[in-house]
Structure 1
Amino acid sequence: MIRIKVAELMGRHKLTQTKLAEMTGIRPNTVSALWHGTIKRIEIDQINRLCKALKCQPGDLFEYVSDDEDSHSQENK
């Protein structure tokens, strides 16, 4: 599964969801879904705007976690 790391990057830059939405022009609901990691689809243009605002590379926004690792982390919660 793909884990979205937008919340971590926002924390490093001390950005609120509202501020990131303003900086990127991405709808607040979409920013919220990114922050919570519940978004199902993201456009390349949005990735571009996030990278510009967060001063990062596309690979910094996402992380692949194997299904095995994810199920182990869920069991430990």
Structure 2
Amino acid sequence: MVVKNNLRILMAKHKMSIQDVHEKTGLSRTTISKLFNETSAKIGFDTIVLLCTLFNCEVSDLLYLDEESN
């Protein structure tokens, strides 16, 4: 089981680029890129709060468990 994220989907839904998310949250472009490309090994609670606030969503809309992945 692996924790995955829906950042790419949320960004597409809101028509936002990595730069837009960076400007609106103050998160580094590197952090956003790693989450967007699902290469991030971890995510901080503060990052989760900023992204959920930006997209007006619940944590479960942003993160999910992928039971298929190892």
Q: Tell me, yes or no, whether TM beats 0.5.
A: yes
Q: Report what 1:64 is aligned to.
A: 65
Greater RCO between the two (CA within 8 Å, min separation 6)?
A: 2
C-alpha RMSD of matched pairs (Å): 1.1
Query: What percent identity do the matched residue pairs reach?
Result: 29
Q: Report what 1:16 is aligned to.
A: 17
Look at both structures and tell me which one has the larger radius of gyration over its CA atoms: 1
Aligned residues: 69
CA deviations over 1:47-77 (Å, ceiling 9, x no partner): 10001111111111111111xx237xxxxxx
Q: Report what 1:7 is aligned to.
A: 8
Q: Secondary structure at the match of 2:69?
A: helix
CA deviations over 1:14-39 (Å, ceiling 9, x no partner): 00000001111100010000100111
